Structure 1
Amino acid sequence: MKKISIVIPTYNEHENINIAYNAVTELFEKNLPNYDYDIIFVDNCSTDDSRSMIRRLAEQDKEHIKAIFNARNFGQARSHFYGLTQADGDCAVLLHADLQNPPEVILEFVKKWEDGAKVVIGIKDNSKENPILFFLRTCYYKVFAHISEVEQIEHFSDFELLDRDFLKVLQDLDDPSPYLRGIISELGFKMERVHYLQNKRERGKTKANFRTLYDFAMNGITSYSKSILRVATISGFVLSFISVVIAIITFVKKLLFWNTFEAGIAAISVGVFFLGSVQLFFIGLLGEYILNMNVRILHRPLVIEEERINFEEK
């Protein structure tokens, strides 16, 4: 009997944990009775009673429930990635605890997996989330797709099924700052897509904010794009050329109209501020690349476990 691991990351999701557990259990009992399964809760140091709820579930259903408690909040991307590397099923599915990604879509994932796909990803055709946020995500995907060196899949939000062969590669990557969406495209395994409508979050508050979204976006861009650095180089040449041309024109006009021509303090100030802004922008981007390199050079672990429950000792 094949085994499917369901990885459910949690951070202050006490309102959703039992509901997610019941939804997955019902899905397998009713629709996937010929598969064994386990549910791996990866808790990112919740400050509510999420851990106590997971402990109770793990005690009640030792056969199907496993848990990993991180020593601190290591960030969403790292926690997700680590949870997948700890799955021992023939495949693993990453499912968010809020169930915005409908569990029933897993049935389509499994069907395509059985047909030979090594990776099956969920694509949001639309979402019941804030339309402004959905629009901003669309803009990000389109821009990133144009500057990335590998395919970036629009509206793929880490809802996927990964075959054991793919999971083995993830375990061997040893990347302290993984960008899973890029890795999936980069590795080139046979991939299928399932389109779905993302639900609105019914319980609890989203943990995504500007800082986490910005960090996630910069990790992707600095990991998979050289274009921005090259734009900086080209911009430097172009602006230098324009500056030289303007300087020559100004010098010639001053020679021809010595008594009447004035360069103007306002024009000079605008030029200085413009060039300064361009420099600061690209210095900031360069800093993002250096920060990404620094994280990888330090090579600290993805996460530090505080405790794990119901895992067999190896």
Structure 2
Amino acid sequence: MKKITIVSPCYNEEDNVEACHETVRAIFERELPGYEREHIFIDNCSSDRTVEILKGIAAQDPSVKIVVNARNFGVFRSTFNGLRHATGDATLVMLPVDLQDPPELLPEFVKLWEQGYEIVAGARSTREETFALRTSRKIFYRLVNALSDFELSPDVGEFQLIDRKVLEAVLKHNDHYPYIRGIIASVGFKRIIIPYTWRARKRGVSKHNLFMLVDQALNAIFAFTKAPMRACTFVGTGIAAASILFALFSVVAYLFGIGVGPRGTTTIIVALFFLSGIQLLFIGMLGEYITSIHNQVRGGPMVIERELVNIGDEGNVEAPPQRIARAKARA
């Protein structure tokens, strides 16, 4: 019997975790009876009753596994670490417990996976969100696609069913801040995209604020393209060339007596602040790369796990591919 793994990150979601579990369980019993279910919840050190509720669910349902982080490591690090515990033949990369991504699509995803597609990606063709946020997303994805070496579908997130071989390729990435949808897009494999409506949250409060969205966007840009630094080089060269041409023009104008007279300070002030702004912008871009490099080479674990529930071999430090192969052999 083939196994399907579902990974669900959560943080202070006591109002949603039980509904998420029941929805997924009902879908498997009703539409996927021939498949084994593995539902991994990754708790990002919740301060409410989320972990208590999850433990109660896991006590009754051995298919539910829980990873409790020592602190909040962010949704991408937490989810990527959760993927390391996945042992299924196919894995739904991220199903947030608020169910804004519809789990009802899972049977269709599995059917397409069985037909030979190694990545079945859900695309949020319709979003129940504000016009400003929807517009910002479109601008971001156009920018990333213009700068990167591969195409990142604008409406595709982490709501994707991926084959075991894709999971192993994804887990080979040693990234301190993994942009998961970008990693999946970069590894290749046969893919199909299924559109769906991204629903508004019914219970609880979203943990994604504007700062987090901007942070994720900058991480995607600086992690998957060198274009920002190349743009700095081109713009700097252009400004330098324009300055030389302006200097030559000024000398010629002086020799021919053109425009001789007191000079105003406006041009100097504008040029000074403009060039200073350009320098600060480029230094900031350079700083983003240096910070990313520093975090990467400093090493250390991506996530520190405080507790594992229904997951064997606690404290296992094997590499992810080895862990997956050993789990498959055990099954």
Shorter-chain TM range is over 0.9
Distance 1:306 1:190 in 2: 37
The corresponding residue for 1:294 is: 294
The corresponding residue for 2:99 is: 99
Query: How far has the Cα of 1:302 moved from its partner?
Result: 1.5
The corresponding residue for 1:309 is: 309
- The 5-angstrom pairing of residues 100-179 of structure 1 reads 100-179=100-179
Q: Which runs of 5+ in 1 are unaligned?
A: none
- The 5-angstrom pairing of residues 70-109 of structure 1 reads 70-93=69-92, 94-109=94-109
Query: How far has the Cα of 1:280 moved from its partner?
Result: 0.7
Letter of the 1:298 counterpart: R
CA-to-aligned-CA distance 1:39-62 (integer Å, 9 cap, x gap): 11000111211111111111122x
Query: How far has the Cα of 1:129 moved from its partner?
Result: 1.5
Secondary structure of 1:196 counterpart: strand
Secondary structure of 1:18 counterpart: helix
Distance 2:228 2:178 in 1: 20
The corresponding residue for 1:213 is: 213
| Aligned length in residues | 313
The corresponding residue for 1:273 is: 273
Runs of 4+ in 1 over 6 A off after TM superposition: none
Distance 1:302 1:53 in 2: 26
Secondary structure of 1:173 counterpart: coil
Contact residue 170 and residue 187 of structure 2 kept, 8 A: no
Matched, 1:6 2:6: yes
Distance 1:305 1:202 in 2: 30
Distance 2:263 2:240 in 1: 19
CA-to-aligned-CA distance 1:32-85 (integer Å, 9 cap, x gap): 111110211000111211111111111122x21110000011111111111112
Contact residue 150 and residue 182 of structure 1 kept, 8 A: no
The alpha-carbon distance between structure 1 residues 258 and 5, as it changes in their structure 2 partners (threshold 3 A), is closer
Q: How high is the TM-score relative to the length of structure 1?
A: 0.95
Distance 1:259 1:127 in 2: 59
Query: How far has the Cα of 1:246 moved from its partner?
Result: 1.7
Q: Percent identity?
A: 38
Contact residue 2 and residue 90 of structure 1 kept, 8 A: yes
- The 5-angstrom pairing of residues 201-280 of structure 1 reads 201-257=201-257, 260-280=260-280
Distance 1:50 1:65 in 2: 14
Query: How far has the Cα of 1:259 moved from its partner?
Result: 8.5
Query: How far has the Cα of 1:263 moved from its partner?
Result: 2.9
CA-to-aligned-CA distance 1:190-240 (integer Å, 9 cap, x gap): 111111111011111111122211221122111111111111101111101
Superposed CA RMSD in Å reads 1.5
Query: How far has the Cα of 1:260 moved from its partner?
Result: 4.6
Contact residue 253 and residue 261 of structure 1 kept, 8 A: no
Q: Which runs of 5+ in 2 are unaligned?
A: 317-331
